[in-house]
Structure 1
């Protein structure tokens, strides 16, 4: 199944519904909540946060946030960094993650990006296998939070 999604700007009208999208409890140690993501975006404006709610029809099913075209420096990966990707617990396993990455890749590529960076917490249940299936490869780096840094060469994606 190919998930049909839309990336939607978060507004006062949909903010509460987007914040209500949560991963399964066992995944919370791997991905911060939407509410925490908003806080991180406010606390780190130098990360040039860009975020969208992910909708299937009229229902929010996920959330994505990137650092958009930043100058990389210690504590700030980039230029294009997939800062957050979460799919609501009841919506996982339906292709939404891949569909979101396809949209994100198209957007950052259109902005001139050659690569997309992300990171993930190591351990049982980490999303790293999902990212690797998509085409991300470990860079060999560990970020300041102890997360494994992964890189997607955008020339390797259709």
Structure 2
């Protein structure tokens, strides 16, 4: 993998290429599409959606979206919640997912955050093992859709 992995603002110039990214068909039940993510961001402004394209050099290889610095409540987990992490099917297995999380963790630490939450659907093919390898641990909670809630202590990462 190239050392040029970076998080890039989604603009009119790169939006179509980012939206065209797809996970493997078997992963579609676990990871919403980029277009669905854009729609969720528009429909949920209270979640303070923050999203970026993941580029390796000039090529989009993934997408990440968080709820950024929200007041937790019945409808919102936070203050920082990893809402989406998608690496295109053709780009998986190259370390991009962990590299994206490394970038996100650095940004969150700069904001003074101490934890990052996420959720995932359990089952065969779930991203849960990836998140656990990275350092996320289950909180014991599930959300209204049955997804397990995971927490990353930002102090636990180098």
> TM-score, with normalisation over the residues of structure 2?
0.98
Structure 2 gap ranges (5+): none
Distance in structure 1 (CA, Å) of the matches to 2:3 and 2:66: 21
Distance in structure 2 (CA, Å) of the matches to 1:131 and 1:50: 20
Greater shift, 61-70 or 72-81, is seen at 72-81
Are 2:2 and 2:56, in contact at CA under 8 Å, matched by a contact in 1?
Answer: no
Q: How do 1:1-150 residues align onto structure 2 when only pairs under 5 Å count?
A: 4-150=4-150
SS of structure 2 residue aligned to 1:138 = strand
Distance in structure 1 (CA, Å) of the matches to 2:145 and 2:112: 28
Distance in structure 2 (CA, Å) of the matches to 1:134 and 1:54: 18
Distance in structure 2 (CA, Å) of the matches to 1:145 and 1:74: 14
SS of structure 2 residue aligned to 1:155 = helix
Structure 1 gap ranges (5+): none
SS of structure 2 residue aligned to 1:151 = strand
Distance in structure 2 (CA, Å) of the matches to 1:18 and 1:155: 31
SS of structure 2 residue aligned to 1:65 = strand
Distance in structure 1 (CA, Å) of the matches to 2:25 and 2:133: 24
Distance 1:67 1:27, change over 3 A: same
Displacement of 1:3 after TM fit?
5.2
Are 1:3 and 1:95, in contact at CA under 8 Å, matched by a contact in 2?
Answer: no
Distance in structure 1 (CA, Å) of the matches to 2:30 and 2:37: 13
Distance in structure 2 (CA, Å) of the matches to 1:2 and 1:131: 22
**Matched positions, count:** 158
